[in-house]
Amino acid sequence: MGWNNEKLDDIWALPQESLKQVLPRMDSAGLQVLLVGDKERHLHGIITDGDIRRALLRGESLDVPVSSVMQARPKVLPAGAPLDSARRLMLTHNIRHIPLINGENQVVDLLLWIDLFGSKVEKRPEPVVIMAGGKGTRLDPFTKILPKPMIPLGDKPIVEVLMDRFYEQGFSQFILSVGYKAEVIKLYFSDFNSRPYQVEFVQEEEPLGTAGALALLRQRLDGVFLVTNCDIIVEMNYAELLRYHREKGYDFTVVGALRDFTVPYGILRTSEGELQLIEEKPRYHFLVNVGLYVLEPVVLDILENGSPIHMTDLIMSAKEKGLQVGVYPHHGRWFDIGQWDEYRQTLRAFDGML
């Protein structure tokens, strides 16, 4: 509550603006919603994180206008409506945002779930498996001394920062798959009693690729679980990811982050050797595999004990065997420290955040 006219600018989108234009605004506000309307604050609709995700899954371009993706008839309440009415509306329709409007259909405020139900974090039962056994050769020579999970980000190693992010959303059960310099990682976590985490380890005796160590967890995991690389931090709602995974009935969900790439040259389009047109520095949008997954235990049956396999091969093997493999599009921020350039960029981004 308390969204005055100036603050509404942070979550306001014009109908004719493109998705590409408004995505940074949504990510910056961090509310997973933008209100859509004219400059006089007349409400035309709302657009949520889920609306954008569904548009990406349909193959929509980021150049389409917001009006083609928004919810044109959102649930609203008149300004001054009792808060109990707002609570009932949210619970009945499973919504997290209610615009408050005046008699001219102008937005005067926005009610959020957190305003009405508080910010208590629900404890999550799903374990988080962190793949921390690689050599980190792309960060050589740093990783000749420290294993990649122990590379500092602020005053903590990256793996602890990653665990903190999960814990903030209710996850407290972590399994670390370790291999290279495992003793360094185990020593650090041996004095971890003061943390509200449960940390277990699974040891690779020989390198098993980016997914082979999951076979060692077959007897430990009997329900849905998350898997993440140790060198990424994805700013997202993990509970929403799990809800999506379950609603779709997937066995394996891959998180795909939206990236764009501008070709630094003019592209020649030809037909049978004849020039048709020149596309000057075209920009392409695509989803990339960030290294975060949701798996059902049935996926582990594909793996053979002691046999190396990479995650990309496991994904395709699951699909070939008839398992349901889905993609969860993510358009928010994510950080990768797998290479020096990305590590430096992440340090700059995290400066003052940790």
Q: Which domains does the chain have, with CATH numbers?
A: 5-116 (3.10.580.10), 128-350 (3.90.550.10)
Indicate the SS3 state at residue 55. Answer: helix
- For the cut 70, the answer to whether the pLDDT of residue 304 exceeds it is yes
Please report which confidence band the pLDDT of residue 4 belongs to, taking 50, 70 and 90 as the band edges: low
Q: What is the pLDDT of residue 350?
A: 67
What's the pLDDT at 242? 97
Question: For residue 96, with 0-12 CB atoms within 10 Å meaning exposed, 13-18 middle and 19 or more buried, which class applies?
Answer: middle
Q: State yes or no: pLDDT of 128 exceeds 90.
A: yes
pLDDT of res. 129: 98
Residue 91 CA to residue 75 CA, distance in Å, equals 12
- Predicted pLDDT of residue 3: 64
pLDDT digits (tens, 9 = 90+) for 37-55: 999 999 999 999 889 988 9
251, 296 contact by CB (below 8 A): yes
Residues in the chain: 354
Asked if 131 and 213 count as a contact pair (C-beta separation under 8 A), the reply is yes
Looking at this protein, which amino acid is placed at residue 278?
I
As a whole number, mean pLDDT of residues 324-348 equals: 84
Identify the DSSP state of 121: P
Chain centroid, CA 164 distance in Å: 15
Amino acid at 242: L
Using CA atoms, how far apart are residues 272 and 64, in angstroms rounded to an integer? 32
Q: Are 56 and 332 in contact (CB under 8 A)?
A: no
Kindly compute the dihedral angle of the four CA atoms of residues 17, 18, 23, 29, in this order, to the nearest 10 degrees: 10
Give the residue carrying structure tokens 């990811």.
241
Cis check: omega of the bond before 196, within 30 degrees of 0 = no
Question: Per the structure block, which two tokens stand in for 331?
Answer: 């358009």
Predicted confidence band at 354 (pLDDT cuts at 50, 70, 90)? very low
pTM attached to this predicted model: 0.81
Going by pLDDT thresholds of 50, 70 and 90, the confidence category of residue 148 is confident
Q: Tens digits of per-residue pLDDT, 68-124?
A: 999 999 999 999 899 889 999 998 888 889 999 999 999 999 999 888 887 777 899
Measured CA to CA in angstroms, residue 329 lies from 48, 152, 353 at distances of 13, 29, 25
